[in-house]
Amino acid sequence: MLSARAIYHEICDNDDTYALFLSVAAAGESQGGWENERIAHLTSDPELSGKIARHGKDEEKHGRVFHALLRKRGLDPIEVPPEAHYTRLLEQAGIGLSHPRLKQERLLSDEEIIVYLVHSRVTEQRAAEEVAMQCRVFGDDPELGNAIRIIAADEVNHLAYCHEELLRFCQRGHEPLIRRLLRRYAQAEVRTYRDVSQAVMGEMGRKLRWSAPKRALLGFGIRAIYAFERSLGWRRLTRLRMPTRRNAMGSKTAAAAA
């Protein structure tokens, strides 16, 4: 049976595919850590800068967690195929702030910070959904379960603060720009997610020697998910609502006051 649980366990039971699985995850977290560090440095609002910096530290921590899991199995990280590098492909598609811009020392404008927050809101939704599914699959796994629960809790905080900060910018008159960017970024993200899913599953299939019918069925599943997301599912990536967990990335003192 081709359930998500069965596929994930098959991938994690093989050293080659386990290394690829964790290397793909670690690569995205490492890039996200650097980007958030630079954005925090270029943000003039000290409170928002602190939240972005904490976001970056979380991403770096996640990368270290994935590398620690590899070391525990006696494995080294492997080079991620370009077609499977989710964060890099999003940047190449013009989503978020470019790396040349982040290497400059000029402070970010409000519009550029909005670009960052919209990018984060869309991609953190995907990340939260992915780790929530992995929690269900690996919740009882002694090796992966605790690590994924830690990451899942962070992703909830990241998504909460993106909602809250974007709603603040909406109140300051930026809602039309935010809505346009949310729509464009969400539609680009679902295409990128489909392409990365196909690339990763293709590589997994080669390493695990999946049969042609199994590959075809998994490919059909990826295309079916994309068809839904392209027509309706992308809209969930664009909704804004004030989170229950306020000031999720702020200090404990500030969170208590909020």
pLDDT for 167-216, tens place per residue?
Answer: 999 999 999 999 999 999 999 999 999 999 999 999 999 999 999 999 99
Instruction: Give which of 48, 29, 114, 37 is closest to 247, Cα–Cα.
Output: 48
**How big is the chain by its Cα radius of gyration, in Å?**
19
pTM attached to this predicted model: 0.92
Instruction: Give which of 38, 162, 184, 181 is closest to 99, Cα–Cα.
Output: 38
Q: pLDDT at residue 253 above 60?
A: no
Which CATH code, of 2.160.20.60, 1.10.540.10, 1.20.1260.10, 1.20.1730.10, is assigned to 4-257? 1.20.1260.10
Domain boundaries, the chain: 4-257
